[in-house]
Structure formats: structure tokens, C-alpha cells
Amino acid sequence: MADDSTRSSEPQPGGCLFSILNALVRGILNLLGLGVRGARATIIPPDARYREFVDAWVSERLAAWLHETRSEIDMDQARLVLMGEAERFPAQAAMLRQTLLDAKVTFSQRDGKQYLEIEAYMAPRQTNGRQPQVLRWRAEREIAWPEIPDDVRERLIRSREPVTLGYAIPQ
């Protein structure tokens, strides 16, 4: 019995109060960006993070094609313009709008896998007065089901057909 009384008087490593305080401290640290997950991860919903992943891949592909279409287009600046930073690079943004005629993003399913496809039409600058030749660019990659934005995933389930979204250069 003496052993039981000494055990109960020793401080317990866990307990209800400790758990509540631990959760509170971790929550505050997370909001400040100092915890295991940064403040951004706790504020931005998962669907927005997946959308950012898709937007990043699409922007990288388009930036490379824009540079190949017109060598004076800087790939890094083009990628930033396509990610929504057009106000930082107004000359590049204007050049992109002149070059990128149309683009679309398609999510599809085949053979139990999901795919993300980007298709773009671009016109290089013509200096000889003739109609510009339109170039078609296309890339596809496999994408995990959770990486597809929620609204697109729902449309894929309902329609059982590819979902195509238009693409515009952010203002």
C-alpha cells in the first residue's frame, strides 16, 4: 500500500490539463507559423493548396512554351505573371497577352488513373506583315486523385467525362 500512495503523489506525465495546455500551445504556435504546420497550412483549405499545385505546373509549362515561341520572353518572369504577379512585370504581361492566344486545362480519367493536360495556342511575333503562324503546344501528366481540385473532382464523378477549364492570364 505504501507503494501505491507514493505513486499517486508523484507528478503524472500526462493528464487532462496537460493535454489541453499542449493543444493550446501548439495551436498558437501553428497560427504564428512556428509549429509543425505553418500558419499558411492552417488557414488555406486543402483544395486551395491542390489548386496551387496544378496552377504551378500549368504556369511552368506555359512559361517554357512562351519562351520557346518568343525568345525575348523571360521564363521566370512569365511564370510569375502567370501565377498572378502581372503588376510586377507589366511589359512581360503585355507580351504574354500578345503571344498566348488560347489555353485550356483538362482533367481526365483513363484506365483507373487521372491525368492533367494543358493545351495552348500561341503566335510568335511576325515582322514581315503576314498572318502569324499559330503554334499548338500540349503536355500531359498523371495526377493523383487528391491533387484534383474538389469542384473538378465532383464534375469528373458526375459526368464521367473529361473536365475542361479555360485558362486566362491573371490580371
Residues 79 and 146 in one domain: yes
Q: Helix, strand, coil proportions of the chain in percent (round to 5)?
A: 50, 20, 30
34 has a pLDDT exceeding 50: yes
| Terminal-residue alpha carbon distance, the chain | 76
Whether 73 maps to a domain, the answer reads yes
Output the pLDDT for position 86.
82
Residues 144 and 102 in one domain: yes
Chain segment 107-141, per-residue pLDDT in tens: 898 888 989 899 989 888 765 666 668 888 999 98
Chain segment 53-84, per-residue pLDDT in tens: 677 888 899 999 988 888 888 899 988 888 88
In contact, 116 and 138? CB cutoff 8 Å: no
Whether 100 maps to a domain, the answer reads yes
Whether 31 maps to a domain, the answer reads yes
- Its domain, for residue 76, covers 45-166
In contact, 36 and 26? CB cutoff 8 Å: yes
Question: b vs e for 14-37, b when ≥16 Cβ sit within 10 Å of the residue's Cβ?
Answer: eeeeeeeeeeeeeeeebeeeebee
Residues 127 and 148 in one domain: yes
Output the pLDDT for position 115.
92
Across all residues in the chain, what is the average pLDDT?
Answer: 75
Whether 77 maps to a domain, the answer reads yes
Output the pLDDT for position 53.
63
Whether 141 maps to a domain, the answer reads yes
